């Protein structure tokens, strides 16, 4: 792995700047608006935007919207939202489709100079003439058309005279080229389809290879960063820019970042959404930016994660526990501590006056420089966690048990005096007495207890629903398993706990608040919250509890 904070792309840029090749650099983030962004994209965003924060220059957002069929405006909006939420702002917002007239013009130039031709071969015929990596391909019978004929046919392709697939425009390079992508690659295809921005204006669309490099060049992008699968495309990228004699952008490649126990491919994520394996792109189990956000991840934690994994030239699966480590680190610093009882057991404090309520200050976050407090109502009837009580405890059990004392966090020490059961022998409540001198912050009781429990006052508690998440897939790399990746979905990735009792201050929660529910993990309010029901998502547990 690369040394943190100084990767091979930064080395290239520093050399370029030092050599005076550029006075500022321009990068771009080029999503295809055919789905929501995922954690892999976050790594590319942090890289591209991070570079121009570190070095003079700027980053453009460019929608790579050359494929009319799969693209939607909803995706454009979500992508912009997600980038901003991650904390970045682009200099210019561009659309490859805005360059359609210019790209067409480039195609005309190539045709005029005998560097491109219209081919009437079917896609099957083109494929069959391609050759193999060890054997040269065969020239198309349409390869030697005159420029005039090619110009005429290209214009008629553009004017909609031919059906889908009838003709293509191909670069005239070399059918024996060792790089298969250089064997007369297709530059334009006919597709009578509605485009989300250009509508019906075009019925020919540029191929990725013809759109991408030329768009970079139009924007004078200096360092065009893409993932490793584009290494073989670089030769064509340079060929087109060279032949067109336009601004020489340069392509550099880095490895895709993939997380284990999930899939990072928009196409696969779309299947999960469409086939209702998840509730939507923003399902908190999804590795999408919007899913992570709803789950309670912070932009800081995702940026930290991307910085820690850095960039590399070889693909590998990143352990999701690193992502969780990053969010835990950040939430520990910023999350307000709250008390929530998941599985209640009633405690009656028999020596506490009936009807009396005391407001006890409890610190929001001991990690904060300036500690703030909220008030916890304390009264005679409380809930504690059922598994914080044992009638016949083993040795060294420091929670509540008959005759044993514990501290209620930010409140008093209580002692269990009596256990109340129903006919079946099930414990229904425990009766305790409190030590009045043991109040937190002014404890003069001299009693030392080892256990501290979270609690809520029954009369003041608010009802909530808690959603606990596990990995979305049962295997580390579902895409590499036999059969369909969806066969490996974890059926227990969501556990809903209802009838949870939360301290009343949580009624004021907003979607931006981050909480640590004491001893339970980190939580955030979910958008399914309604007037009469608070819903919280567990972002992550307090410790790494997943078995390795």
Min CB(227)–ligand ATP separation in Å: 4
Minimum CB–partner distance for residue 114 and ligand ATP (Å): 32
Q: Where are the beta strands (DSSP E) in 357-461?
A: 358-363, 373-378, 381-385, 405-408, 413-421, 427-434, 452-453, 455-457
d(CA 406, CA 98): 68
Give the separation between CA 400 and CA 259, rounded to whole angstroms. Answer: 41
* Active-site residue, from 266, 294, 407, 520: 266
- The binder of 439, among Mg ion, ligand ATP, none, by C-beta within 5 to 8 A per type, is none
Active site residue 172: no
| Distance of alpha carbon 82 from alpha carbon 97, whole angstroms | 22
Residue 358 binding result from Mg ion, ligand ATP, none, given CB thresholds of 5 to 8 Å by partner type:
none
Phi/psi of residue 498, nearest 5 degrees: -105, 175
| Candidate residues 130, 191, 243, 256; the one interacting with ligand ATP per rule CB under 6 A | 256
| Contacted entry of Mg ion, ligand ATP, none for residue 204, CB cut-off 5 to 8 Å set by kind | none
Contact with ligand ATP (CB under 6 A) among 97, 214, 258, 379:
258
Provide, rounded to whole angstroms, the least separation between the CB of residue 31 and ligand ATP. Answer: 4
Q: Is 2 in the site for ligand ATP (CB under 6 A)?
A: no
Considering beta carbons, is residue 222 or 438 the nearer one to ligand ATP?
Answer: 222
Q: Which does 43 bind (CB under 5 to 8 A by kind): Mg ion, ligand ATP, none?
A: ligand ATP
Interface pick for ligand ATP out of 145, 257, 337, 454 (rule CB under 6 A): 257
**DSSP secondary structure of 233-302:** GHHHHHHHHHHHT----EEEEE--EEETTS---HHHHHHHHHTTSSSSTT-TTS-BHHHHHHHT--HHHH
Q: Site for ligand ATP (CB under 6 A): how many residues?
A: 16
Q: Is 522 annotated as a binding residue?
A: no
Contacts of 370 (CB under 8 A, 6+ apart): none
How long, in residues, is the chain? 548
34-73 mask for ligand ATP (x: CB under 6 A)? ------xx-xx-------------------x---------
Which x/- pattern, by CB under 6 A, does the window 214-253 give for ligand ATP? ------------xx--------------------------
539 makes contact with ligand ATP (CB under 6 A): no
Q: How far is the CB of 183 from Mg ion (least distance, A)?
A: 22
Positions 26 through 45 that interact with Mg ion (CB under 5 A): 32
* 266 makes contact with ligand ATP (CB under 6 A): yes
Q: Is 262 annotated as a binding residue?
A: no
Is 513 labelled a binding residue? no
Among 264, 290, 365, 404, binds ligand ATP (CB under 6 A): 264
Place of tokens 């998941």: 342
* Region near ligand ATP per CB under 6 A, out of 28-36, 51-59, 336-344, 423-431: 28-36
Instruction: Please state, in angstroms and rounded to a whole number, the distance separating the CA atoms of residues 19 and 299.
Output: 35
Buried b / exposed e over 428-449, threshold 16 CB at 10 Å, is: ebbbbbbbeebbbeeeeeeeeb
372 burial class (0-12, 13-18, 19+ CB within 10 angstroms)?
exposed
Q: How far apart are CA 202 and CA 118, in angstroms?
A: 17
**CA-based max dimension of the chain:** 102
Active site residue 548: no
Q: Which is nearer to ligand ATP, 89 or 387 (CB)?
A: 89
Q: Which whole-number Å values give the CA distances from 399 to 391, 394, 395, 414, 449, in the listed order?
A: 11, 11, 11, 11, 9
SS3 8: helix
Residue burial 267-303, b: 16+ Cβ < 10 Å; e: rest: ebbeebbeeeebeebbbbbbbbbbbbbbbbbbbbbbb
Contact, 457 vs 444, CB < 8 A? no
266 is a catalytic site residue? yes
524 among annotated binding-site residues: no
Closest approach, Cβ 41 to ligand ATP, in A, equals: 5
Give me the phi and psi of 479, to 5 degrees please.
Answer: -70, -20
Taking contact as CB under 6 A, which single stretch among the options 260-268, 273-281, 420-428, 481-489 is the one that binds ligand ATP? 260-268
The CB-of-269 to ligand ATP minimum distance in angstroms stands at 7
352 marked as part of a ligand binding site: no
Query: To the nearest whole angstrom, how small is the minimum distance from the Cβ of residue 202 to ligand ATP?
Result: 20
Give SS3 for 437.
helix
Q: Is 80 in the site for ligand ATP (CB under 6 A)?
A: no
| Catalytic residue chosen out of the listed positions 54, 130, 191, 256 | 256
List the binding residues for ATP: 32-34, 227
What is the contact surface with Mg ion in residues (CB under 5 A)? 32
Which residues contribute to the site for ligand ATP (CB under 6 A)? 30-32, 40-41, 43-44, 64, 226-227, 256-258, 264-266
Active site residues: 32, 256, 266
């Amino acid at each position: 792995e690369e040394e943190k904070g100084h990767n091979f792309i930064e080395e290239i840029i520093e050399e370029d700047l030092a050599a005076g090749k550029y006075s500022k650099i321009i990068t771009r983030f080029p999503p295809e608006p055919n789905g929501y962004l995922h954690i892999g994209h976050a790594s590319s965003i942090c890289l591209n935007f991070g570079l121009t924060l570190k070095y003079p220059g700027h980053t453009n957002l460019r929608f790579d919207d050359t494929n009319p069929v799969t693209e939607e405006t909803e995706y454009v909006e979500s992508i912009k939202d997600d980038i901003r939420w991650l904390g970045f702002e682009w200099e210019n917002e561009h659309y490859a489709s805005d360059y359609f007239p210019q790209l067409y013009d480039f195609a005309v130039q190539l045709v005029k100079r005998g560097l491109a031709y219209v081919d009437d071969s079917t896609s099957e015929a083109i494929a069959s003439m391609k050759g193999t990596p060890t054997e040269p391909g065969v020239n198309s019978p349409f390869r030697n058309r005159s420029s005039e004929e090619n110009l005429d046919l290209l214009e008629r392709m553009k004017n909609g005279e031919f059906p889908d697939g009838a003709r293509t425009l191909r670069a005239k390079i070399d059918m024996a080229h060792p790089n298969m992508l250089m064997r007369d690659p297709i530059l334009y295809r006919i597709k009578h389809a509605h485009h989300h921005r250009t509508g019906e204006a075009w019925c020919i669309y540029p191929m990725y290879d013809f759109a991408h490099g030329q768009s970079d060049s139009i924007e004078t992008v200096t360092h065009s960063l893409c993932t490793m699968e584009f290494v073989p495309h670089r030769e064509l990228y340079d060929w087109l820019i060279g032949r067109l004699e336009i601004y020489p952008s340069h392509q550099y490649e880095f490895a895709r970042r993939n997380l284990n126990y999930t899939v990072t491919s928009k196409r696969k994520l779309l299947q999960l959404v469409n086939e209702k394996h998840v509730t939507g792109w923003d399902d908190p189990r999804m590795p999408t930016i919007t899913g992570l956000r709803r789950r309670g991840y912070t932009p800081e934690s995702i940026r930290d994660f991307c910085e820690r994994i850095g960039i590399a030239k070889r693909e590998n699966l990143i352990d999701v526990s690193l992502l969780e480590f990053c969010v835990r680190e950040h939430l520990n610093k910023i999350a307000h501590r709250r008390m929530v009882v998941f599985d209640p057991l009633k405690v009656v404090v028999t020596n506490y006056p009936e009807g009396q309520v005391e407001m006890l200050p409890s610190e929001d976050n001991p990690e904060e420089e300036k500690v703030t407090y909220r008030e916890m109502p304390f009264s005679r009837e409380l809930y504690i966690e059922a598994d914080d009580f044992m009638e016949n405890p083993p040795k060294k059990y420091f929670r509540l048990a008959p005759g044993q004392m514990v501290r209620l966090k930010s409140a008093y020490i209580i002692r269990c005096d009596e256990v109340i059961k129903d006919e079946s022998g099930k414990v229904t409540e425990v009766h305790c007495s409190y030590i009045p001198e043991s109040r937190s912050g002014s404890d003069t009781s001299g009693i030392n207890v080892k256990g501290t429990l979270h609690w809520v006052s029954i009369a003041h508690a608010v009802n909530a629903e808690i959603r606990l998440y596990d990995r979305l897939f049962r295997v580390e790399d579902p895409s590499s398993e036999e059969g369909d990746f969806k066969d490996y979905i974890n059926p227990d990735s969501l556990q809903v706990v209802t009838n949870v009792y939360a301290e009343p201050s949580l009624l004021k929660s907003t979607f931006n608040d981050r909480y640590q529910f004491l001893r339970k993990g980190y939580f955030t309010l979910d958008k399914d919250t309604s007037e009469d029901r608070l819903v919280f998502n567990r972002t992550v547990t307090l410790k790494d509890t997943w078995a390795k």
